[in-house]
Structure 1
Amino acid sequence: MTSRLAGLLHRRGRSSRLKRRLVALFLAIALLPLLPTTAEAADPPTPPRSAPAARSAVAAMQPGWNLGNTYDAIPDETSWGNPPVTRELLRKVKSQGFKSIRLPVTWGVHQGAAPDYTIDPAWMAKVRQVVDWALDEDLYVMINMHHDSWMWVNNLSTDHDAVLARYTATWTQIAAEFRDEPSKLVFESINEPTFSGTSSDDDNYRLLAELNRDFHRIVRESGGKNAARLLVLPTLYTNADQGRLDALAGELTSLRDPMVATTVHFYGWWPFSVNIAGYTRFDATSEQDLTGTFDRVYNSFVERGIPVIIGEYALLAYDHNRPGIIERGEVRKYFEFLGDYARRRKLTTMLWDAGQFLNRNTLQWRDPELFAQIKSSWTTRSGTASSDMVFLPKSSAVTSQTLTLNPNGTDFQGLRHGSRNLLKGKDYTVSGNQLTLTAAALTELAGDRAYGVDATLEARFSRGVPWRIDVISYDNPVLSDAAGNTNGLTVPTRFRGDMLATMEARYDDGSNAGPASWTSYQQWDTAFSAYTGDSIKLTSDFVNSLKDDSRVTLTFHFWSGATATYHVVRTGDTVTGSTA
């Protein structure tokens, strides 16, 4: 992402100042489709088709993986929490079914002064080593100019000649270094281009077109295998709004180069991807956002013979260090659907992995079940269900529970607990897509009914991976009074087997409270969090946004369906919380 909101949400080791800058930039980009834009041409340009070699290369790159937060990290490869790259890492990536890697590189912090802007030879050698290792593993490699986009390239409008000179010098050195590398090495002109000091989209499109023309000229004129190397060009912000796609189509029409591909990024429907405005589930709105995005890039490019790479995809707030922002089953539904729809739209996808998926110290997947879902989506659909959790109130008798199956074109084949198949008719029944677990079966599965997960089932389908269902004993969470200050408020909480889904905040007059004043449902991490088993935390941003001496009513929503009401009052630098 521009700035890698993952730097904000799932990237460690960044300064708070940088994080604030990334948040502001991403929010501006994320909301662009909702804002008025300049008029679009009624008949957008129809660029020439890419060569068969370009289309086959991009197809052969599927699926791809990003070596994120490494050579793009500032100032060095380990600065954002990942270990040095090893050849074993690349072998692991290859062994897991990936056919390509994207190698984001930030060059600016490793360059000398004007006019030569010489890239540090040691840094170039590091990049070269990873490229060669990956090529030796028979992986395609895509290298780019990464965080330079917002560190100095974004000043093209206000410092045109100096920025263009530096951009030219940088790509001239990269092109010369790799001019004789095999054709499996691919160049991407710039990551998530953005420009400051402009007054319109037309200005932004013009600047991006100038950069891409310069990039194209430098690489092609450098000779060697660069004369026919596949070049990848991004839309403005790497965004898939139709105006961005049409502008890039115009660029391709002007270049008339058959060895080109285009790229956009996708991190999901923004409210779902960060848990705000009550979007806790991968619902029809999130699906429509995904299909609309992929349909637009398909219609604008793929259908016209120009390949498209989703150069980064994930979920903005998915982070193994902070579970709960997006519920596990909803994460699985998102990746299952994305992989299938990308395949149907003939899009090559490259997973953004800053360390939150593959543990680079152990070379093991942090969530093997999730990776199995992602990998399966490359070739087939998997069945899911309305939830991956069945909640049993501990304080009352066990009753039957029903989930809605989402077969996704597969056939439901049964339930399994460990090595035992559950019996249809006795342990569960199926009516249409309604799966009902009997009270008798749930009583046995719940065992001594300790709070939390008592048993895990697998719903099996004719294709894809099984769907996990946790049987959970719970009682309504209990909150306690608390005192804090403008640094935040920690609310002691006995979750009693339940899990927080989201939080609403309103003043007594019914208006919204919190940093996101446009919705009552506040954003996880920005306003609140619940990462430990003993408390819910209200952030400093949340308490500082509150009106002085005005009571706020919080409604905490839990995944069982339970809710808890809590009152907060800020008086000067003091914040108090009390149960309703």
Structure 2
Amino acid sequence: MLGRLLSLALAAAFALAVPAGVQAAPKSQAAPKSAEAAVAAMQPGWNLGNTFDATGADETSWGNPRVTPELLAGLRAQGFRSIRIPVTWSQHLGPAPDYTIDPAALARLAEVVGWALDDGLYVMINIHHDSWLWINSMPADHDTVLARYNAIWRQVAAKFRAASPRLVLESVNEPQFAAGGDDAALLNELNTSFHGIVRGSGGGNAKRLLVLPTLHTSADQAYLDQLSGTFTALSDPNLIATVHYYGYWPFSVNVAGGYRFDATAQQDLLGTFQRVRDTFVARGIPVIIGEYGLLGFDRSTGTIEQGEKLKFFELFGYQARLNRVTTMLWDNGQHLDRTALTWRDPELYGQLSSGWRTRSGTAASDLVFNAAAAPVTAKTITLNLNGTGFAGLYLGRAALRRGVDYSLSGDQLTLTGGLLTRLLKDRAYGVKSTLSVRFNRGVPWRLDVISYDTPVLSAATGTTDAFSLPAAFNGDRLATMTATYADGSNAGPHGWTPYKEYDAAFSPDYAANGIKLTPGFFAEVNDGSPVTLTFIFWSGATVTYQVTRAGNAVTGTAG
């Protein structure tokens, strides 16, 4: 009783902390009327990543705390209606032929599933990292893999046959196979076997919602068509298709010049939703994007510049609603602090939660740069209204004056020289003021007014294991880096492009006034061949630097 009272108290506290307009998901215990209705009721969803899917001894082995009822209550208070609980079974299985699941591990999972169901959430559980730990060896070890896979689902189906119909089962996460087999046929065999085992276990499993993935959970048309064939053969109205989406890869990790959410990245997103809609949703087969986000988040949520990141999630949320697709945010601990129960990036959560209901306006950038050594002049920003209406420009709570502080012509917002002069104050480097562009719906768009000068880089020495070049950023921010040899050919990792991967090959350290080049970068640099690095900053400034590797030693010179 005390635990449930704490859950209610925490939910109330969370309700005070979420953005205006966000409502707690209803605490419904009703059975779904159809697969389509259930999947609609699951929107939005969240992943309990790096917890039960950890390959260590228990749910805390990858650094996250034990799950509590308070966490689940807090999620529902913030509007989430479903939770995906990835489960890796390998470390909890006994030997062949029974492959008995450790009773304590299964009981703990059942406890957390029960808490979530009791709190009114839909819950999805699956077979997770086993996909690459052993299921991928199916081409060479078919019978053993299938026996082990079937044994897991027989036990899980038996454990949960009496559970609420809001418990959903997913056959396997991101299925993949080593070379040597017919991948489509192998996945069809797993999905079909899973379906037969669960349906044959009786009880609530006779009509339980079941989720089947494409190969790699990819939304490529060939993989969608393969899964569509499985749905046709099974002819079961309680099936759901699933794919994952982490964005256009160069943008998702900031490589190959993909540091902006440009037309190519946008079209990749639009194409994904169109294909799943045409292949499944239009035929009455519901779709869940079981994981979404940006791959660069695995290293740092700052891999993608904040404004570019927010534009991605704004369009993603709109397309999910437009195409009637349910989405589940991948969170391995980098988004929601599960101890403090706060969002590490409240602005991102604000955009996500707004996208569950409506569109928001954005802009070409969230950064307004002004050279400290130059006269202050008016600056024009292109707004992306996204069907909203402009409602004003604000400094804090104060509405700025149209015609005096700014002007608007169509989608062109111009900040006057007089306004910028006041905002820039002493012209010292950095963010001098933050403006808020408000629209008639959705969340505001932040504009940071920044004073800067061209960054200055200095000579340095170091090793391939630890090299950082001194950098006076002078208020600017690093967008990307290219690396080339004297003959113009590309240097370093991803040799097919001069643009290197943010965080993987290089990263700025603003606090320490330096730019780090990683061991991974130098591992693919020719010994003794000077490499010209060009650093591209968000102000538009570019600065060159030269590094030369000699064995384990590295020297760097500016200019």
Asked if TM exceeds 0.5, the reply is yes
Partner residue of 1:310 out of 283, 289, 306: 289
Aligned to 2:171: 189
Aligned to 2:463: 485
Q: Deviation digits for residues 324-370 of structure 1, max 9, x if unmatched?
A: 31000111000000000111011011111111211101111111111
**1:6-45 equivalence runs, <5 A:** none
Aligned to 1:283: 262
Aligned to 1:67: 48
Q: Matches of 1:440 and 1:206 in 2, distance apart?
A: 67
**1:416-435 equivalence runs, <5 A:** 416-435=394-413
What is the identity, as a one-letter code, of the residue corresponding to 1:562?
A: A
What is the identity, as a one-letter code, of the residue corresponding to 2:144?
A: A
**1:253-292 equivalence runs, <5 A:** 253-292=232-271
Partner residue of 1:172 out of 143, 154, 164: 154
Counterpart contact for 2:161–2:204, Cα < 8 Å: yes
Partner residue of 1:412 out of 390, 398, 406: 390
CA drift of 1:445 comes to 1.1
What is the identity, as a one-letter code, of the residue corresponding to 2:106?
A: M
SS at match of 1:375: helix
SS at match of 2:247: coil
What is the identity, as a one-letter code, of the residue corresponding to 2:524?
A: S
What is the identity, as a one-letter code, of the residue corresponding to 2:147?
A: A
CA drift of 1:449 comes to 2.6
Q: Deviation digits for residues 100-155 of structure 1, max 9, x if unmatched?
A: 11010111111111111111111111110111010011000010000011111111
SS at match of 2:285: coil
Structure number with greater CO (CA < 8 Å, separation at least 6) is 1
Which range moves more in the overlay, 321-330 or 461-470? 321-330
Partner residue of 1:512 out of 474, 490, 507: 490
What is the identity, as a one-letter code, of the residue corresponding to 1:517?
A: G
CA drift of 1:488 comes to 4.1
**1:173-572 equivalence runs, <5 A:** 173-198=155-180, 203-318=182-297, 322-533=300-511, 534-572=513-551
Which range moves more in the overlay, 444-453 or 95-104? 444-453
Q: Matches of 1:488 and 1:278 in 2, distance apart?
A: 25
SS at match of 1:279: coil
Counterpart contact for 1:488–1:543, Cα < 8 Å: no
Aligned to 1:91: 73
**1:15-164 equivalence runs, <5 A:** 53-75=34-56, 76-164=58-146
Q: Matches of 2:283 and 2:461 in 1, distance apart?
A: 61
What is the identity, as a one-letter code, of the residue corresponding to 2:419?
A: A
TM-score (norm 2): 0.93
RMSD of the TM alignment (CA)? 1.2
Q: Matches of 1:434 and 1:110 in 2, distance apart?
A: 59
Aligned to 2:27: none
Counterpart contact for 1:324–1:500, Cα < 8 Å: no
Counterpart contact for 2:301–2:334, Cα < 8 Å: no
Counterpart contact for 1:486–1:574, Cα < 8 Å: yes
Q: Matches of 2:205 and 2:300 in 1, distance apart?
A: 43
Q: Matches of 1:572 and 1:119 in 2, distance apart?
A: 50
Q: Deviation digits for residues 449-490 of structure 1, max 9, x if unmatched?
A: 332111111000011000000111111111110112221421
CA drift of 1:525 comes to 2.1
Say if 1:129 and 1:531 are closer, same or farther in 2 by CA, change over 3 A.
Answer: farther
- Structure 2: state its 5+ residue gaps: 1-31
Counterpart contact for 1:543–1:575, Cα < 8 Å: no
What is the identity, as a one-letter code, of the residue corresponding to 2:436?
A: E
Q: Matches of 2:421 and 2:50 in 1, distance apart?
A: 47
Aligned to 2:24: none
SS at match of 1:503: strand
CA drift of 1:172 comes to 0.5
What is the identity, as a one-letter code, of the residue corresponding to 2:49?
A: G
CA drift of 1:197 comes to 3.0
